[in-house]
Structure 1
Amino acid sequence: MLLKIKSISTLLVFFIAFSALAQEKNQELLNLLLKKGIISQTEADSLLKENNKLVSKSSGDKEFSLALEFRPRTEYRNGYRRIRTADTEAAFFTDQRSRLYLNFKMKNFIFHTSIQDIRVWGEQDPRSTDGSLQIFEAYVEPTIAKNFSVRVGRQKIMYDNQRLFAQNNWRQNGGAHDAVRLIYKSKKLEGDLIAAFNQEKGAQNRFFEIDFSPEGFNSYKYLFVNFLKYNPTDKLTLTGINVADGFQDPVNTKTNHTRFT
């Protein structure tokens, strides 16, 4: 996985550099022709205009964007989440989030991914070969009909004031879900239908059974969400969120407990 991510990142860097270099070389060639008197300024302007048209035509409605985020944070904790005692001492450390956003858009299709590295300064041996990159988001979103699209993959889920669903951006690694989302969006009405089903990567679960007993963290086994937002006027918004999330019983793995919100 680490090798694949590195390869993709390298190819993207080369693609961006090559595109910029090609534009620069075209301009240099025109300047050389002008200097030698082979073409006039009017002809050079005309050639440059035609070249820009060809570039625009070849790219069509395609758009590629890249963004970088670097967020170090130093914290002093002395009683945070746990009441201090006479035997405890304050904690002091710096953690860091480095994130790369890649977004590709074309008519009726979106691909988005963000790759991140989360670490506490000094927690890892800098000579270690262990990979630490992780995928924060990775999804495709094709448009299937007017106002309708489907988003498939790892994605953030955020609604209104983020009381029920949030990206938890205050936390360095954030929060995302592996899910399928049917999206409807018009001028006054927005709606989502979301479904998620979590499984472990063990070989047994890929042939038989659907056991989900993660170690070291707690998460739902399945999730269903319905979100509606209607704006009858510019000053009035009506919102409805319905959620069903199920958790597997830790003792009887055949039993799931569902919560409705």
Structure 2
Amino acid sequence: MKKFIYLTSILVCLIAYKATAQFTLSAEVRPRSEFRNGFKTLTDESKDPAFFTEQRSRLYMDYMDDKFKFKLALQDIRIWGETSQIFKEEYGKTFISEAWGQYYFTPTFSVRAGRQILSYDNQRFLGGLEWAQQGRRHDALLFQYEGIENKTKLHLGFAYNQDDDVAEPGFLQAPGADFYSVGGNYKTMQFAWFNKGFGSSSLSLLALNAGYQNAADSSVSYKQTFGAIGSTSLGAVKLAGDFYYQTGSQGGNDISALLAGVNATFKTPVTPLTLGVEYISGDDDPTDGKSNNFSPDFGTNHAHNGFMDYFFVGPANGAVGVTDLYLKTKFNFAGGALKVHAHEFLTGSTQVAGDGSELEKTMGTEIDLVYGKQLAKGVTWNIGYSHMFATDTMEALRGGDKGAIQNWAWTMLTFKPTLFTSK
């Protein structure tokens, strides 16, 4: 961490000495305390609730010249108390969150290279996952065309990942050097994202190919995802929807899966109301060599399907899929804003009980409450409470006890000041 502080000090001095470009130094400290009692999956009376505080600390350095941009973000993530008060060594918790440079060939065409956030549209499939303290980042090359006048954007992204289990010179010819052993990540990825604005309407198209290392040998399986995301306004009603289809193969299974969602937001004299439904396909028979289980691999999944993260955050959902019927609204309250979300969850596939009988579709109802308020410039406070009312089907699929109280509560303070800005 000392090296990072020294580096920052040197950069600030250099920019202050020769301020021919704009340099901004900002920071973030975000502690969040959580009470978990049925978070992600059902609990029972034999398990004690969990309580902890996790903190994110970041330092952002942004540099912008007439021909290029540069960003460096340093990050430390830790649980309060996991390190002794008096210590000489600790686990490595400090690392680079973002580190990229972007060169502009023209005002509308550029290339960005380095560790960066890939976040598009409603972040359903590609998102920064900033709710998680560590976020989600990609080591990638990104070509961008962004036309302001014609409201047209085209991004082309490329990535090829490798690990360090074989020393660097060995990559030239060592046996097995090309085997990628980082679990849960792609080995290679290419995508194209196109967006066009039409007045109050917008349409995005996405095509993404991801290659995953097969565990048995050095071969790679490729999975493709195609998406269409749109929104429009019809008077006082805003309509939005998205559709994704996955094909290819992974883990020896051929893939044919989909996600489809649509919602409508109505303005009322009191508060906007959003009604929506989302269907994410599951797999009726995971043993038939075919997979119908859609996976939103790189999205901000916490923002969808309930804040208690029962679906697609970690492996808890398996191949069940989900149909999510939801109602969302937001009130101005006590100088801040109160969000109220209600979800009714059904399975996205046919599931059977241990005796071979078919389970009911309904898995449970979740209520989410989140209050947020700006306390001062650069300081915000959020507090939330969620409750899951589970059914027999949820208990059969997840275990635990549906009769036990299933809830989650949290509070978070975010300090995000701008420390220095050159003119």
Structure 1 stretches of 5 or more lacking a match? 20-57
SS of equivalent residue, structure 1 residue 145: coil
1:79 is displaced (CA, Å) by 1.0
Any stretches of 5+ residues in structure 2 without a counterpart? 226-423
Aligned mate of 1:229, from 189, 192, 195 = 195
TM-score scaled by length of structure 2: 0.49
CA offset digits 1:118-155 (Å, max 9, x no partner): 00001123414234311110000011234110000000
Deviation at 1:230, TM superposition (A): 1.0
TM-score, L = length of structure 1: 0.77
Distance 2:166 2:214 in 1: 21
Which structure has the larger Rg over C-alpha atoms? 1
Higher relative strand content? 2
Tell me the SS of whatever aligns to 1:113. strand
Give 2:54's aligned residue. Answer: 95
Task: Output one character per residue of 1:85-144: Cα deviation in whole Å (capped at 9) or x when no partner.
Answer: 232100000010011110000011111011111000011234142343111100000112
Residue in 1 that maps onto 2:210: 245
What aligned pairs does 1:110-259 form with structure 2 within 5 A after superposition? 110-126=69-85, 127-130=87-90, 131-187=92-148, 188-204=151-167, 206-208=171-173, 209-214=177-182, 217-231=183-197, 233-252=198-217, 254-259=218-223
Quick one: distance in 2 between partners of 1:210 and 1:201? 10
Could you tell me how far apart the structure 2 residues matched to 1:248 and 1:194 are? 20
Q: Which amino acid aligns with 1:75?
A: E
> Deviations 1:216-241 (Å, cap 9, x if unpaired)?
x411111111000012x321212101
Q: Which residue of 1 aligns with 2:6?
A: 7
Most deviating of 142-151 and 6-15: 6-15
Structure 2 residue identity aligned to 1:257: S
SS in 2 for 1:123: coil
Name the SS for the 2:131 alignment partner: coil
| Count of residue correspondences | 216
CA distance in 1, matches of 2:2, 2:159: 28
1:11 aligns to what SS in structure 2? helix
Deviations 1:62-102 (A, max 9, x none): 10011111100000001111321232100000010011110
Q: Which amino acid aligns with 1:78?
A: N
Structure with bigger helix share is 1
If asked which structure has higher relative contact order (CA below 8 Å, sep 6+), I would say 2
Query: Partners in 2 of 1:125 and 1:141 — Cα distance?
Result: 40
Within 1, Cα distance between the matches of 2:10 and 2:179? 39
Structure 1 stretches of at least 4 aligned residues deviating more than 3 Å after TM superposition = 12-16
RMSD: 1.9
Q: Percent identity?
A: 31
The CA distance in 2 between the partners of 1:87 and 1:7, in whole Å, is 50
Instruction: Name the amino acid aligned to 2:104.
Output: T
Change (3 A) 1:146 1:103: closer
Displacement of 1:190 after TM fit? 0.5
Residue identity matched to 2:33? T
Amino acid aligned to 1:102: M
